[in-house]
Amino acid sequence: MSSEPLDIQTPSGTFETRIDVLWGEMDALRHVNNTAYFRYFEEARVRLFFAMGLDGAVGRYGVLAHASCDFLKPLMYPARVAVGMKCVRIGRTSLELDCWIADAGDPETLHARGRNVLVCADGVTGRPVPWTDDDRRAMHRCFAA
């Protein structure tokens, strides 16, 4: 357990990762299929949890409780996207994230915005468990401004 004082404020920074768009993610209209957007958000969450050290090896993991997506502009292959997340709220057992998908070469061009709510769960029981102080410190590290 770290001896650093715990900052209970919500982190103000963002977590971002880049993902290549795959040819097979296109639909019949030659746009990236809407389901791929949810996969990009999923991949970003997985990378966030690995960065936090919550990869399941500690007996806890993140469960997706809510996911939404507003599609703003079609994505076309080939592309590389930047998936960003900003922490909106850290609850006792939950984490709320604003998410977006942008063109990696032009981060001002948004293709989608979304919202995810994650719950920390026990790996054996599947029941929600509170975030630890170390989890909260890791969130602050991952969402550094």
Please check whether residue 1 lies inside any domain of the structure.
no
Question: What range defines the domain where residue 52 resides?
Answer: 14-142
CATH number of the domain where residue 67 is located: 3.10.129.10
Please check whether residue 119 lies inside any domain of the structure.
yes
Please check whether residue 90 lies inside any domain of the structure.
yes
Given strand 80-90, what is the order of strands in its sheet? 14-20, 80-90, 94-103, 106-122, 60-71
Q: Is 0.75 topped by the overall pTM?
A: yes
- How far apart CA 137 and CA 144 sit, in angstroms, is 10
Please check whether residue 3 lies inside any domain of the structure.
no
> Is the distance from CB of 83 to CB of 97 less than 8 angstroms?
no
Q: How many domains does the chain have?
A: 1
Is the pLDDT at 62 greater than 60? The verdict is: yes
Would you place residue 8 in the very low, low, confident or very high pLDDT band (cuts 50, 70, 90)?
low
Smallest CA-to-CA distance from 99 within 34, 12, 38 is with: 38
